[in-house]
Amino acid sequence: MQNGNGKGMRKVNIAADPGRSRTLPGWAYTDRAIYEAERDLIHYRSWHYAGAIDELQQLGDYITARIVDENVIVIRDKDGQLGGFYNVCPHRAHQLLRGRGSAKVITCPYHAWSFHADGRLRTARNAEKLIDFKPEEFNLRPVKVEVFCGRFVFFNLDLDAVPLSESAADLAEDLRREIPELDSLVPTKEQIWRAPMQANWKVVVDNFLECYHCRPAHPAFADLVRMDDYRIGFGENWSSQKGELRRGDNKAYPVADNAPNRKALFWWLWPTTSFNRLPGQSALNVYCMLPGGPAVTDQVSQLFMLPGEAMDEARRAYTMDVLTVEDVGICESVQQGLQSRGYSSGRFIYDPDGSEQTEVAVHHFHRKVAGALGINEVA
């Protein structure tokens, strides 16, 4: 279970049995040493979402993405291949590209060194006068890139990382089983939504992974979805939550009788990515919970819809103005409470049937965090 070194860090005891285990303690969400260890032992070794394959169709099409302190470029080269690189010039460390766009040649805005889309150094002004200058030593440094489910582009700073096609093959199968029109979904014109939250990234993941809080904290959602049939499950590197539409005339937003999607579907992929679908239209949201500091999470999401499908404004209003606001309030309150001397650690509520009143996926997540950091004292 222990993959990190855990050197110099306090230990935790996340038992294998969720019905007997305590949660991560409050200091695991507030300690900067833990945050920095997570950076190196979790985030720099894991797969993170970058964007949609639809954004990378032509030579030079690129997207930039970040994880903690590192920014990367994913770009299409002249051979039609996707490449990933650290978004930093090897000359004097200036950032090369910003946002999304097209650049058949990557040119640094600082000193105009340029690079081919495959990362090779193209020009370095006046470098021909240098003694023993070797262009190959100044190619862009690569990162690993993979297209998941044929739609979603991920990157990993660890060049030896196990491919998502192996580590999350069962997640891909579940996504395709539940969303048969997945290959037809395209990113919307709105592209990317971003917002900071004043809470540790693990607080946000914890909240996402359980619906034990849904009845008291999301009353409209509990009226939209049948809580009695809501089920939670997980695989090695992911978990899922699934529920059926309770009724079209509900407190969240109206769902037509002929709506193509009758389910609430939520998947989480270790450590920062989720796929979300509410009842109604076919839209799918990819939502990322990115660490921005010990007590800051950068929320980033991208919405996918069928071509020509009109936005359900009532559904969007509920998602952004009610559900998201409720979750932000919950997470920020929890972050404050985790710093209190009145809190140590909690207990997992466990239901072996996987109902909405179980925190088994949170337990699974805590075990993975503690194991990656090498701080769990139990097997």
In the block, residue with structure tokens 């093959």:
169
Are residue 216 and residue 328 in the same domain, yes or no? yes
Which residues in the chain come in under a pLDDT of 70?
1-2
Are residue 307 and residue 205 in the same domain, yes or no? yes
CA distance 365 to 352: 17
The confidence score (pLDDT) of residue 2 equals 53
Q: How many CA atoms lie within 13 A of 104 on its CB side?
A: 4
The confidence score (pLDDT) of residue 226 equals 98
* Domain annotation covers residue 17: no
CA distance 109 to 141: 18
Other CB atoms within 10 Å distance of the CB of residue 330: 18
The confidence score (pLDDT) of residue 9 equals 85
Are residue 150 and residue 215 in the same domain, yes or no? no
CA distance 17 to 364: 10
Contact between residue 339 and residue 31 where contact means Cβ atoms under 8 Å apart: no
Of the candidates 110, 109, 102, 114, the one whose C-alpha atom is nearest the C-alpha of residue 139 is 114
- Each residue of 246-304: pLDDT tens digit? 999 999 999 999 999 999 999 999 999 999 999 999 999 999 999 999 999 999 999 99
Number of domains in the chain: 2
Where residue 93 sits, what CATH number does that domain have? Answer: 2.102.10.10
CA distance 66 to 52: 15
Are residue 183 and residue 293 in the same domain, yes or no? yes
* Domain annotation covers residue 209: yes
Phi, psi dihedral angles at 336 (to 5 degrees): -65, -45
Tokens encoding 366:
């805590």
Contact between residue 347 and residue 15 where contact means Cβ atoms under 8 Å apart: no
The confidence score (pLDDT) of residue 190 equals 75
Are residue 64 and residue 208 in the same domain, yes or no? no
pTM higher than the cut 0.85: yes
CA distance 87 to 107: 11
Are residue 241 and residue 133 in the same domain, yes or no? no
- In angstroms, the Cα distances linking 364 to 19, 210, 247, 278 are 12, 11, 32, 24
Where residue 187 sits, what CATH number does that domain have? Answer: 3.90.380.10
The confidence score (pLDDT) of residue 1 equals 45
- Each residue of 147-158: pLDDT tens digit? 999 999 999 999
Exposed, middle or buried, 161 (CB in 10 Å: 0-12/13-18/19+)?
middle
The confidence score (pLDDT) of residue 20 equals 95
* Domain annotation covers residue 265: yes
CA distance 105 to 117: 6
Domain extent, residue 333, equals 26-46+169-373
Contact between residue 28 and residue 343 where contact means Cβ atoms under 8 Å apart: no
